[in-house]
Amino acid sequence: MAAPQADSGWPGWWLRRSAVSWALWPLSRVYGAAVALRATLYRAGLLPVQRLAVPVVVVGNLTVGGTGKTPLIAALATGLRRAGWTPGIVSRGYGRASGAAETLPVGPDSDPRQCGDEPVLLARMAGCPVVVGRRRAEAGRALLAAHPEIDVVLADDGLQHFALARDVELVVVDERLWGNGWLLPAGPLREPPGRRCDAMLGAESALARLPAAGRRFVLERRLGELHHPAGGERLSAEAFARQLAGRPLAAAAGIGNPGQFFAMLRGAGLAPRTVALPDHRPLDPAALDALPADAPIIVTAKDAIKSAALPPALRERLWVAELRLGLPDDLLPWLTRRLEAARGRTTA
């Protein structure tokens, strides 16, 4: 049985400066020096940077773990398509089997063990071509070779992958923000929090804690319908709460920030017993069995993709909570203007 995670998805010493984080602080200084040297080598042209034939938008974060990039990328792909663009997506595909092909196209029914759980979810949510690969530039070239109609590439979690040239960098933040403010391994930061990007996106309460400089876009996340894959039933959160009144309820999440999902359920009037599980791993039957017997188990859409290996009795108990992400009205016009300018540079 995998050890349950903290609801935050981070160890406690990443959230506050404790004895453990202080003990690791010297290593974070070494890590920071290595990060700075690597960035300098790319900027100086001493390490190769590859540019695709179309504009590239990178959606990433400065910290370890998920901050809600997947639903944002899906929403951007949908919005760009409505605006007349033809997007495609590249991703590293975390959690892939070691023997999986280096570059692999992903469809809605692909095996997450071969391509990762988030790319499968993106293929389902975004409705556009997806290719995974450890080297994003190779994945991008494979994507464009297979789909020459694509005129913009969205790169999932490639902020630190400087080998792929990008035209727009979007950083997503959540309520954890920078944790204790230190770099790995003493803290959760992959790069210093002062690192420049084109825009920061997240909940208003998180963005309000950032310095005033820089472009920001407020994202509104709310709970959508819950559906029962085994039976096909779909209910609003309110109807689900009424139907389950008086019965025990459970929720499990193996995502970057399980606490954010659990808070969303509580905000919708649901009060499940919760268990946070490791990200990018199949759902653990033993952990789910430890939840109240026969209680419906609410999971994320990402976790539902990882549920195929569960025993039938556990799959029967799963309800999938959908996430609704609202984009601010000025985000897509701003982004399309940046892409138009980048397209002129790319084709020049």
The pLDDT, as a whole number, for residue 66 is 79
Please tell me the predicted confidence (pLDDT) of residue 278.
85
Cβ–Cβ under 8 Å, residues 39 and 162 = yes
Residue 8 has pLDDT above 90, yes or no: no
Q: Is the pLDDT at 2 greater than 50, yes or no?
A: no
Residues 306/111, Cβ–Cβ less than 8 Å: no
The full length of the chain comes to 348
**Segment 239-276, tens digit of pLDDT:** 999 988 888 999 999 888 899 999 999 998 898 999 99
pLDDT of residue 98: 64
Q: Band of the pLDDT at 290, cuts 50, 70, 90?
A: confident
pLDDT digits (tens, 9 = 90+) for 175-201: 999 999 999 999 999 999 988 999 999
Question: Residue 1: pLDDT above 50?
Answer: no
CB 223 within 8 A of CB 50: no
* Domain boundaries for CATH 3.40.50.300 within the chain: 30-218+327-347
Q: How far apart are CA 129 and CA 145, in angstroms?
A: 12
Q: Give the Cβ contact number of residue 242 at 10 Å.
A: 11
CB 183 within 8 A of CB 28: yes
Closest CA to 162 of 56, 17, 29: 56
- For residue 100, pLDDT over 60 is answered with yes
What confidence tens digit (pLDDT) does each residue in 40-53 have? 999 999 999 999 99
User: What CATH fold (topology level) applies to the domain 30-218+327-347?
Assistant: Rossmann fold (3.40.50)
Q: Tell how strand 152-156 and strand 273-276 pair up.
A: unpaired
Nearest-angstrom CA–CA distance, 348 and 343:
8
How far apart, in whole angstroms, are the C-alpha atoms of residue 51 and residue 41? 17
Residue 186 phi, psi dihedral angles, 5° rounding: -75, -25
Q: What's the Cα-to-Cα distance from 246 to each of 235, 275, 295, rounded to whole Å?
A: 17, 20, 11
| Residue type for position 194 | G
Q: Does pLDDT of 211 surpass 70?
A: yes
Computed over every residue of the chain, the mean pLDDT equals: 91
Sign of CA dihedral 195, 196, 202, 205: positive
- Across the range 116-139, mean pLDDT stands at 93
- How far is it, in rounded angstroms, from Cα 118 to Cα 111? 11
- Rounded CA-CA distance 346/25 in Å is 42
The region, left, alpha or beta by phi > 0 then psi within -120 to 50, assigned to residue 7 is alpha
- What is the pLDDT averaged over residues 287-299? 90
pLDDT, position 338: 96
Asked if residue 99 has pLDDT above 90, the reply is no
Q: Tokens 């993709």 belong to which residue? A: 305
Q: Is the pLDDT of residue 347 over 70?
A: no
Distance between CA atoms of residues 285 and 270, nearest Å = 23
DSSP 8-state class, residue 2: P
What pLDDT score does 341 carry? 93
DSSP 298-325: EEEHHHHHTTTTS-HHHHTTEEEEEEEE
